[in-house]
Structure 1
C-alpha cells in the first residue's frame, strides 16, 4: 500500500489502530534521538522512547536555556551526555540525530515537522499536529513526499483496552448508536489571572519561542504550559484533549467528516481571566443518522458518568464508556448484559513508542498506529469545534472541497504567519 492509498481516511479509521506488534527487532542499529521542547510532555515522550532497545538521546533543544540546563543535568546524572541547542535548525543540520521528538507549542509544529523530514529524520510529533487546518494539510503532503517514519502522539491508539472497547462497539451488541459523547473535565487546572507584561527572563530566547506567532511583549501567562489557552499558539481544551477522545469517537463510528458543527460556550468560570480560549464549551457534530457531542470544563472534575474524561457510545441496548482508566458497558434494562470495568493492562505511551521504533526498524511507515493522516484529520475535526465557537454560527462542511460553506468561517482555516516566517510550500 503506497502513501496515496494510505491517506484515504476511511481505511485509516477502520484499520490503523489495530496493527499488531512484532516481538523483536532483529539486527536493529542504534537510533539517536533529539528532543525539541524539553519542558513538559516532550520530557515524558523522551523517557518513554529511551525504554526501547538501542535508543540513545544525543541532543536537546529548547528556547529556554533554564529548562534546557535542568534537563541536561538530569540526563547527565543518568550517564547520558547530550549536545544542547536553542535553535532546532542547528540541531537538524548536523548528523547527530536519527529521530526528532517535536513537543513545542502547537504553532511551531508545522515548520519543525517539515524541516525535520526534509533533513531525513524520523519524527515523533506531539498532538495536535498543527494550529490550523491549512497547516495540517501541508504537513500531510510533506510526510507523504518523504521517506520519514512519523508517529503522532495519540498514544491511546496503541493501548490494548482502547482497541478492545472499539472491537465491542463494532460488534453491534450495543444496538443502533444514536449519540456519542466525548469530554474532558480538568479539575486540576484552574483559570489563570491577569498578569502584567515583564522583561524577557534571562536565558529565554523569546523571538525563537514566538517564531511565526504574533509579536507581543513577554507575559508569563503565555509561556510554557499556559500557551494552550491563547489562539496565537493553540486551541485550548478543544484541541488539547479533543484530539484524544474525539479520535476514538470517530474510530468507533467508522466515520470521518461531519455534515455540520455548532458550538456554545465561553469564559464562564472566570470572565475576567487571562485566557482567550473558552473554559466551558459544548460542541455538536451532526452526521447523517447520529451526532457526536463534545464538552469540556476547566476547574470541574465530575464529567459524564462520573469521569473527568472519556467517550461514551450510547446505543439502544446499552452504553459503552471508555477512558484511560478502562471501559465498561452499562446495560439498558432487559436488553443486554452489562460488562464490568475492564482495566488497562499496559502502558499506552510505552507501547506507542515500541510501535514507532518497530516501524523505523522495519522501514515501513504503514506500521505506525497514529500516522500523520490520522493526526491531521482529528486536529482538523477538533478545530471545527473552535471555529464554530468563534463564529457563533452553525457551520456546514463540504467534504469534497475541504472547507465550510460559510466564507467567514473559512478564514479560520488559514494559517497566519508573522515575523518574516512563511508558510511552507510542499
Structure 2
C-alpha cells in the first residue's frame, strides 16, 4: 500500500517534513516510468546518488533483468549528472526526485538502494520496508545505536530482505579466510589486530561558511541533524568527519574490517566491553571532529579485537596500510581485500615452524557479488550475505568505540538486554540521537 506524505505523518505521529521543505512543491523531473516488473525483472531505485550510492547502483545494473526506475538526491546537479550517465549507456531515464518520500510512493519499485550519508540511512530504510520494498543499505547501518536497533525491528516486522553493504562477506578472499579459519589449522585465535591508515582520514581543508550551491536543498541534506550554516567541508565527500553525519575512519573502514573479526566467530552482537584512546593530532589547516589517531579494544569474553588508525599515513603492519591479522596458536593469518597469507609460529622446543607458510592467496573483491546476492535473495526470500543483525552488531561496536572517546568514559561496558551502557550515564546520552524537529525517530 502506498503511503502518502500525510500518511507518513499520521501513521507514525511525527511530522517528517520541515517548513523549508513543505514551503514549495517537491522537485520531480519527468522521466521513464516502467510498468510493474514481471517475475524475472527487478526494479530498483537509488536514494543518494553521489559517489558510493551510484557505484552500488552500477553493480546492481550489471545483473540481467535489473532496471533503475527512480533516483533521488538533495543535489539537483548530482541527480541530473547521474541520470545522464545512465542514458549514455542506453538505459531508460529514471524518474528523478529530490525527496525520498516522494520516491517511495512510486508503485513499480521493488527494491531501494540507500547510498546517502550515514545520518540519512535510518528513515529511508525503515519507510521503504514499511511500504513493502526490499533494501540494500550502505554501511555503517546507521549513525547511532538506537537507529540500528530500529532498523532491525523494521526488517523483521515487515518481513523484508535487507542487505547491509559490507561487501567483504561476498568476497572470494574473505570467504577463503573464513574457510581456512574454520579448518582449525591456525589453532585457537586469541586476538585479532585490525588497522586502517589512510591519508583521507585527516579530513578536508578548512573552509568558511557560505551559501549552499544552487540546486542543493540544504535543509533536506541536514534532515534530522542539527541546523548549521552550510560549509563545503561538511558536505559532499567529507561529511563523514563530522559527528552529525558520520563517525570517521572508525565507522568507515573500521566497520568493514571489524566485521571480518566478528564473522570469524559468527558473532551477531556488540562486544561486552570497549576501551578506547584517541586524539586530534593536527587541526591547523584541517576541518574535522572525528579522531585522526585512535586505538580501540573490543572484548568478547576471551576473544579480543584491536582496532587502530593513524590518519595521514599510508603504511602499516605486514606492508599493508590496512588489514586484519588473526593471531592463532600455530600462526598468524593476515588478510586484506586483495589477498591473504599465513605466517607460521615458531616451536621453540622442536626448533621448527608449527605450520607451513601459506600464500599469498588472491581472489575476487566482492563489489559485484554482494549486490548480485541481494538480488538473488529478493527472488528466493533467503537471508542475504550480510543480514541486518550482522550489520547492527558491527555498527554498534564501532559507535561504542567512538562514544567511549566522545563521552570521556574511555572504558565502557555494554548491556545488550537493555541496549545501554551499564557503567556510564554520559555515554548513554549518545545512544539515542536527538533529531532536529520536526523529524523524529519512528515508533516500532
What is the TM-score normalised by the length of structure 1? 0.90
Is 1:118–2:118 an aligned residue pair?
no
| Residue ranges of structure 2 left out of the alignment (5+ in a row) | 1-37, 347-352
Distance 1:409 1:222, change over 3 A: same
Match for residue 385 of structure 2 among 361, 369, 379: 369
Q: Does 1:414 align with 2:432?
A: yes
Output the CA distance in 1 between the equivalents of 2:394 and 2:113.
20
The superposition leaves residues 197-224 of structure 1 with CA deviations (integer Å, 9 ceiling, x where unpaired) of 0112110011111100000010001111
Q: Larger Rg: 1 or 2?
A: 2
Partner-residue secondary structure (3-state), 1:225:
coil
- CA pair 314-236 structure 1, distance change in 2 beyond 3 A: same
The equivalent residue for 1:385 is 401
Larger deviation, residues 190-199 vs 207-216: 190-199
Q: Following TM superposition, by how much is the alpha carbon of 1:170 offset from its aligned partner in structure 2, in angstroms?
A: 2.1
2:312 corresponds to 1:299: yes
SS of aligned partner of 1:299: coil
Q: Where do 5+ consecutive residues of structure 1 fail to align?
A: 1-26
CA–CA distance in 1 between the matches of 2:414 and 2:160? 31
Taking the TM superposition and a 5 Å limit, the aligned residue runs for 1:4-403 are 28-80=39-91, 81-188=93-200, 190-255=202-267, 256-270=269-283, 273-333=286-346, 334-344=353-363, 346-362=364-380, 364-366=381-383, 368-392=384-408, 393-403=410-420
Question: How many residue pairs get matched?
Answer: 397
**In structure 1, what is the Cα distance between the partners aligned to 2:419 and 2:203?**
34
The answer to whether the 8 A contact 1:259-1:288 is kept is yes
Cα deviation for residue 193 of structure 1 reads 2.4
> How far apart, in 1, do the equivalents of 2:405 and 2:201 lie?
21
Deviations 1:77-119 (A, max 9, x none): 1122111110111111121321111000111111110111111
Residue of structure 1 in register with 2:349 after alignment: none
Q: Which moved more, 1:388-397 or 1:52-61?
A: 388-397
User: Is the contact made by 2:192 and 2:304 (CA closer than 8 Å) also made in structure 1?
Assistant: yes
Counterparts of 1:307 and 1:338, CA distance in 2: 18
The structural deviation recorded for 1:188 is 4.8
After superposing the two structures, state which structure 1 stretch, 280-289 or 121-130, moved more.
Answer: 280-289
The question of whether the paired residues in 1 share the 8 Å contact of 2:278 and 2:405 is answered with: yes
Cα shift readout 1:298-351 (whole Å, capped 9, x = no counterpart): 21111221212221111121100111011110111321111111101x340211
RMSD over aligned CA atoms reads 1.5
- Relative distance call for 1:342 and 1:64 in structure 2 (3 A) is same
SS of 1:313's equivalent in the other structure is strand
CA distance in 1, matches of 2:365, 2:298: 31
Contact 1:311/1:321, CA 8 A, preserved across alignment: yes
Alpha-carbon distance in structure 2 between the residues aligned to 1:92 and 1:137: 22
- C-alpha displacement of 1:53: 1.3
Check whether the contact 2:43–2:67 (CA below 8 A) recurs between aligned residues: yes
CA distance in 1, matches of 2:100, 2:296: 36
2-structure distance, mates of 1:342, 1:291: 25
Please list the CA deviations of residues 34-76 of structure 1 after superposition, one character each: whole Å capped at 9, or x if unmatched.
Answer: 1111111111101100011100111111000011111111111
Q: How many Å apart are 1:420 and its aligned residue?
A: 0.8
CA contact (8 A) 1:191 1:299 kept: no
3-state secondary structure, aligned to 2:367:
helix
Distance of 1:417 and 1:54 partners within structure 2: 39
User: Is 1:404 the equivalent of 2:415?
Assistant: no
